[in-house]
Structure 1
Amino acid sequence: MLSITLNLLLLLSVSEPDSSWRKQYDIITPTEDLFVVKRYYNDTINPVRIERKWKAGIVNRQGHVIVPLMYDDISRFSEGLAEVVIGGYCTSCWDRRECKSFALEGEHGFINTKGETSIPLKYKAVGEFQEGVAWVISEDEKFVFINKMNRIVFPYRYLAAQGFEGGLARVDINPNKNDYDGNNFDNYIDHTGKLLIPARYQFIEVFQKGELRMYSRQGRYGFLDTNGKEIVPPIYSFVSMNKQTDWQGLRMVGQQGKYGYIRKSNGSVVIPIQYDSIVIAGKNRIWVKKDTIWGAVDATNRIRIPFAYSKAQPFYHQLACVSVNGKWGYVDTNGILRIRAVYDQAQYFNEGLGVIKKGNKWGFVDRTGKEVIKPIYDYAGFFNSGKAPARWKFLSVTLDQQGNWQTWRITTQGKQFILIGLLIILIIAYIYNRLVKQKQAVKVKIKN
Structure 2
Amino acid sequence: MHRPTFYNLTLLFLLLQSAWAMAQTKPSAKPTGNKAWLKDYNDYREYDDIYVVKKVTIPCRSYETFITDKNGRKLTPAYRDIGDFAEGVAEFVPMELDAEGHGLHGFIDKRGKIVIEPKYISTDRFRDGKTWVIYPSGKHYGLSYIDLTGKEIYRIPIHHFTSNYLIKDSDIDFLCNQDTKEDVLWWIQRPMDFWLLNFNFSRFIEKEIKASKFIYHFLYKGKYGIIDKNMMLKIPVALDDIDPEYKFSGQGMERVRYGDKYGYISPFTGDLIVPFDYTDTRKPTNGLFWVKKNGKWGCIDKTGKLRIAHLYDEATGFTSENRSAVAINGKFGHIDKSGKIRTPLKYDFASYFNHGISMIRIDDKYGYMDTTGRFITEIIYDEALPFDRTTTAVERSWLRFELSLDGKEQFIGFSYKLNAVFIIIGVLIFIWLNNLLYQRVLKKRLVRKPKKQG
Which structure has the greater CA radius of gyration? 2
TM-score (ref. length: structure 2): 0.46
